[in-house]
Structure 1
Amino acid sequence: MIGSAKNQSPEPSAGGFAGTLRNIQMTDLIQMCCLAGASICVRVRQDQQQGMLYIQDGDIVHAECGTITGVAAFFTILGWPGGQFETLDAPLFANPTIREPYQFLLMEAARRADEQAQNRKEEHAAAGAALSKRLRVLIVDDSAIMSKILTSMLMADASIEVVGHAKNGEEALTKMRALAPDLITMDVNMPVMDGSTALKHIMIESPCPVVIMSNLGPSSYATILSFLNLGAVDFMSKPVKNSNIVKQQQRMVDRIHQAVKTHMKRFQRLRPPKLTQTDYMAVNDMAQSEQLVIAVSGVGGFLEMANMITSLPKAPATCVLSMQSIPPQFAPALSEYLHVRSRFEVRPLTDGDAVCPGRCYIGASGRLIEIGLNGPVWCFNDWTADPLGSDQNTFDLLFSRAADLFQERVVVLLLSGGEVGTLEGLRRVKAAGGHIIAPYPDKCIMPATVEPVLKEDVITEMFDPKDMVKVLRRYCR
């Protein structure tokens, strides 16, 4: 402790001096008093706190600080980072509360002070490191109001920092080069340079995860599909006033944290096969599927999912259910886009749809899907109570029911970003003899969602996404 000391004696004693000491270390003052064999009291103040130290015939005999006395009070007082102290006349102590030698006390106080300083230094460094590790986001939107809303929602999470804003694609490229953000949120329609052109430049110059923020509506679906094909890892609806804003904020933050984990260098454009009329399969709603393939994808998994659906071989005994983290209202547009590029008939999943061969259903993650009988035909039943809700057990129910009905004839395909519930459903699939296949973590766009499942030893086969066609031919009948 550094402080100032005043001698409170009104007049100098014969042969001595009285005065004020400034910027002196408390330990130096105590040591001088002890070496001189002095009897003195030192009153110490630090902000609103006060402590007293008593030296008698060169020994530290007592200390008090609030309700604390003795050695504990001594170390408390000397542990203060600074303050003021003054010397007073000392009373005699018949029963000292401190008996340790002053040399030990001063050395131990110095050691504790060094330890506290080191702890403060480490805490400061840790705080600085945490700050430097914050997810750095660039927001691109021509609406200043929307940019402000998105900034507020994202920065409500302490691990996210909005490092800049851009009003159009051209400005976004300039700021991307200057700021090197970890992730970019981008509006679809902007002046000067639209989002599509900007995204192309981003993917060429410096591939960075881009999340599309758009008002969802029929007029925007084609544009969103175009963005996803160009390399956008996810898309979300802009915040809506009449919905639960807290839930919207949490979902946005969660998906941003997921999106930043994508490996953009593994991105590959979709190259669907050239099909003729004879390649498309005829579908009979009353036919019973002998095999069920359930594909699960999410953030970063659009192209893997699209590649899977467009690579499906003619399989007259197989039904496919593709569950993706998309808004339900987007499923019809996505189904229409994939339908003309797949041998299967691709349709959005609705309550009561038949589990029939030759058909691929597009469903939205978070829906509570069960499989039950409707007359002689097995059907997908939507039991979702809250359209905006997400139950961690939704996939457990679906996987478990599929395992019970199809046993070794069920195949679960885990793609990038896919949700899997508590893994209990996957364990049921494996126990029933079914197959759980997933891409190698070092080959897929979003390994973070595959790795935890791999550690649980429920995956029956790993594959390279480039071999999707070969894998599907082996599993689809």
Structure 2
Amino acid sequence: MNSALSKSEGFQGTLSNIQLIDLLQMTCLSRISMNIKVEGEGKEGLIQIFNGNIVHAESGQVKGEEAFFEIMSWKGGNFQTFSMTDVPTPTIEKNWEFLLIEATKMQDETSKSGRAYQTDDSLLKILIVDDSKLICKKMQEMIESDPQLKVIGTAQNGKEALKKISKLDPDLITLDINMPVMSGGTALKHIMIQSPCPVLIISSIEEKDMSKVMDFIRLGAVDFIPKPKPDDNVESQREKLISKIKLAAKANVHKFKRCKLSPQNKKEQAVDHPSLSSGDRSIIIVAGMGGFAECIKIIPNLNAYSCSIILALWHNDLFLGSFAEFLNGYTEINIVPVRKGGKQRLLKNCCYLCSLEREIILTKDNNTIELIPGEEDKGWESSLNTFVHSVCEIFTQASQLVWIFLSGEEKIPEKSLNTILSRKCHLVVQDPKTSLYPILPESCLKGRSGGVVVPSERIPEALTKLVSG
């Protein structure tokens, strides 16, 4: 074993996977340095934690991440802790949260205890987490008005929620952000490590603070919906809540991979971006449910490409401003939200966010291209068909357009896909096996060949090859 081990007072315990994960999580959260000797399945292993980071693991001749995941796959055994006398040589670069989330997924897949992809016909078990008992009661009444949904418990803070999750095994958790004892953010980290489950954020947070919601989505939450308000239409609130819950419950959260983002310090002086013309290249990204999480991985890793990027999301446009502000903190590209009632001239080296909950069209006047969102909600199929048609009418050369389709619960309309394929545009599709919601990418590929199929984290690389090729 590693010479850094010092045989001092420690504790010895029986190892079950979740107990070892709890120990690792507690040690990392406390930013402690510790050696953990693990014995299981006739083997010995070592995990070293330095200042709250898992920096080294070894099992026999195997070291690094491979050794860590091998140790975490052992079915049983025992472990013992030792103090650390020397600074260990790092063999693991990934952060501890990523490692524990991946280890939990691996254990779930091995034991075949992972959650099945839910259908609307299933009776969904819901756990409500909110510090207001009145809100819990109101939400329970709304949720249980649908015969397919069952509230199996409520909790007033994150700590209480974690105890109930292990006992009740919910299919979905509604989670408030600001709570006493343990906040929603801390609870979410524990949930995604210990008991991965679809989490729907329900909070009364103001729009100006929506960047907090984006952090929750980056940590693994599936979606967000505002808390019901007394002056809102009760029936409308109920329908939106039930619809969001049913969609969120379908998320394949075991496919979620948390990404690490590096803040960007943009230049303070204004940059004069040239206008986009119909002879230039444009990148169009379409995302449905789960799209926020995928875009958080992709957009910060894109280059400017000397073109324009349009990100069309199937989500309420009230959140576009906050999402743009969030992304602007992690990318050199200028992110611009485009909401109803306005229009935006397209410039190179900019990314435009718009909502497909209303029709969006591109228009051209004297070689100036503008993005114009409509006033009415036309529905997914109508909005996407109109958008695709208007884009392809302006960019007529196949090499000018790159279409990217990400996670989504909705199918791509045949009319839209036929238009894209008939124009022989470049097509990049997120691998359905890595999608929170695989229906949209699957519908792009069903019965067809062609296009680039890659996991979301490899889309920037694939895009660079297409654009520079």
TM interval, short-chain normalised: 0.5 to 0.7
The 1:458/1:346 distance shift into structure 2, 3 A limit, reads farther
Instruction: Choose which of 447, 459, 471 in structure 1 pairs with 2:462.
Output: 471
Residue in 1 that maps onto 2:368? 377
Cα contact 2:315–2:357 (8 A) shared by 1: no
Residue 306 of structure 1 pairs with residue 296 of structure 2 = yes
Cα contact 2:300–2:330 (8 A) shared by 1: yes
User: How many pairs align?
Assistant: 345
Aligned to 2:275, the other structure's residue is in SS state: coil
Residue 167 of structure 1 pairs with residue 167 of structure 2 = no
Fraction of identical pairs, as percent:
28
Cα contact 1:296–1:419 (8 A) shared by 2: no
Matching of residues 283-432 of structure 1 within 5 Å:
283-284=272-273, 286-288=275-277, 290-316=280-306, 318-350=307-339, 351-386=342-377, 390=379, 392-407=381-396, 408=398, 409-417=400-408, 419=410, 422-432=413-423
Q: Which runs of 5+ in 1 are unaligned?
A: 1-129
Cα contact 2:263–2:329 (8 A) shared by 1: no
Amino acid of the residue matched to residue 162 of structure 1? Answer: V
Amino acid of the residue matched to residue 258 of structure 1? Answer: L
- Structure 1 residue 284, shift from structure 2 partner: 2.5
Instruction: Choose which of 419, 423, 444 in structure 2 pairs with 1:453.
Output: 444
CA distance in structure 2 between the aligned counterparts of 1:185 and 1:315, rounded to whole angstroms: 40
Aligned to 1:247, the other structure's residue is in SS state: helix
Structure with greater Cα Rg:
1
Amino acid of the residue matched to residue 182 of structure 2? Answer: M
The 1:337/1:476 distance shift into structure 2, 3 A limit, reads farther
Cα contact 1:403–1:434 (8 A) shared by 2: no
Matching of residues 151-190 of structure 1 within 5 Å:
151-190=140-179
Per-residue CA deviation, residues 174-215 of structure 1 (Å, 9 max, x unaligned), is 110110001100011111111111111111111111110012
CA distance in structure 2 between the aligned counterparts of 1:251 and 1:175, rounded to whole angstroms: 26
Residue in 2 that maps onto 1:137? 126
Instruction: Choose which of 244, 251, 273 in structure 2 pairs with 1:262.
Output: 251
Amino acid of the residue matched to residue 436 of structure 2? Answer: I
The 1:244/1:131 distance shift into structure 2, 3 A limit, reads closer
Amino acid of the residue matched to residue 142 of structure 1? Answer: D
Instruction: Choose which of 239, 248, 272 in structure 2 pairs with 1:250.
Output: 239
CA distance in structure 1 between the aligned counterparts of 2:466 and 2:204, rounded to whole angstroms: 39
Amino acid of the residue matched to residue 157 of structure 1? Answer: D
Cα contact 1:430–1:458 (8 A) shared by 2: no
CA distance in structure 1 between the aligned counterparts of 2:265 and 2:182, rounded to whole angstroms: 37
Per-residue CA deviation, residues 9-42 of structure 1 (Å, 9 max, x unaligned), is xxxxxxxxxxxxxxxxxxxxxxxxxxxxxxxxxx
Aligned to 2:239, the other structure's residue is in SS state: helix
Cα contact 2:417–2:444 (8 A) shared by 1: no
Amino acid of the residue matched to residue 430 of structure 1? Answer: L
Aligned to 1:198, the other structure's residue is in SS state: helix
CA distance in structure 2 between the aligned counterparts of 1:166 and 1:208, rounded to whole angstroms: 16
Aligned to 1:334, the other structure's residue is in SS state: helix
**Superposed CA RMSD:** 2.8
- Structure 1 residue 239, shift from structure 2 partner: 2.1
Aligned to 2:258, the other structure's residue is in SS state: coil
- Structure 1 residue 392, shift from structure 2 partner: 3.2
Aligned to 1:337, the other structure's residue is in SS state: helix
Cα contact 1:295–1:414 (8 A) shared by 2: yes
Amino acid of the residue matched to residue 250 of structure 2? Answer: K
Aligned to 2:190, the other structure's residue is in SS state: helix
Aligned to 2:404, the other structure's residue is in SS state: strand
Aligned to 1:356, the other structure's residue is in SS state: coil
Aligned to 1:323, the other structure's residue is in SS state: strand
